């Protein structure tokens, strides 16, 4: 292997890189690199499902069972309870990520300024990770829209008791 041979190898390597770069530049200028305005296809189950018709026939008792079984692992259902997630009392109608003293993820804080209405809760509970990518709520989601409606109707019953009321917060 003499110097001239190595030289030839170096020159041919340089030449092929130059040709490839030239081809890439030419290809880019002929075919513009733009995304379509509307997605060509949608992944299943990503679209928002209107929850209102399911709320109309929702079963709060069933929602309560789901909440106690699933959500209560991470959420307190009574004010003052300590949990990994924010307290769910009064969550319906509350501003998103607004509970004082709770360290929300940046992902959920991106939605602050909006209110937890029924449709928002349904979208969130369908897939927290899709609603707020990077959320700390590591829960896959409730895929059944009727289950979500049942849960939401139950969440409406989790209210701070008014001073005059004798019925407390559902446990």
- Interface positions with ligand HEC (CB under 6 A): 67, 70-71, 73-75, 84-86, 88, 91, 96-97, 99, 104-105, 107-108, 116, 125, 135-139, 142, 151
Given the complex with ligand HEC, which of 116 and 166 has the nearer CB atom? 116
Count of H-run helices and E-run strands, the chain: 7, 0
DSSP assignment of 59-127 equals -HHHHHHHHHHTGGGT--SSTT---SSPP-TT-TTSBTT--TT----HHHHTTBTBB--HHHHHHHHH-
Q: Judged by CB, which is closer to ligand HEC: 18, or 117? A: 117
For 107-140, b where at least 16 C-beta lie within 10 A, e where not — what string? bbebbeeeebebebbbbbbbbbeebbeebebebe
Q: The dihedral of CA 157, 163, 93, 114: what is its sign?
A: negative
Nearer to ligand HEC, 6 or 55 (CB): 55
Q: How far is the CB of 14 from ligand HEC (least distance, A)?
A: 51
- Bridge partners, residue 95, by sequence: 115
CB of 10 to ligand HEC, least distance (A): 54
Q: What's the closest the beta carbon of residue 115 comes to ligand HEC, in angstroms?
A: 10
Return the number of the residue (138 or 165) whose C-beta is nearest ligand HEC: 138
Q: How far is the CB of 170 from ligand HEC (least distance, A)?
A: 13
CB of residue 93 to ligand HEC, shortest distance in Å: 11
Q: Which is nearer to ligand HEC, 20 or 68 (CB)?
A: 68
């Amino acid at each position: 292997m003499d110097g001239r041979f190595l030289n030839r190898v170096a020159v041919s390597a340089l030449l092929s890189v130059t040709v490839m770069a030239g081809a890439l530049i030419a290809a880019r200028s002929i075919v513009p690199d733009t995304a379509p305005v509307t997605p060509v296809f949608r992944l299943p189950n990503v679209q928002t499902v209107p929850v209102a018709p399911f709320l109309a026939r929702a079963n709060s008792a069933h929602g309560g069972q789901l909440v106690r079984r699933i959500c209560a692992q991470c959420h307190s259902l009574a004010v003052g309870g300590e949990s990994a997630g924010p307290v769910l009392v009064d969550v319906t109608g509350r501003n998103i990520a607004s509970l004082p003293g709770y360290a929300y993820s940046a992902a959920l804080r991106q939605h602050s300024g909006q209110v937890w209405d029924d449709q928002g809760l349904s979208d969130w509970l369908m897939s927290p990770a899709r609603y707020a990518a990077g959320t700390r709520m590591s829960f896959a989601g409730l895929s059944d829209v009727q289950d979500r409606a049942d849960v939401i109707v139950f969440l409406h019953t989790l209210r701070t008791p008014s001073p005059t009321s004798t019925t407390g917060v559902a446990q």
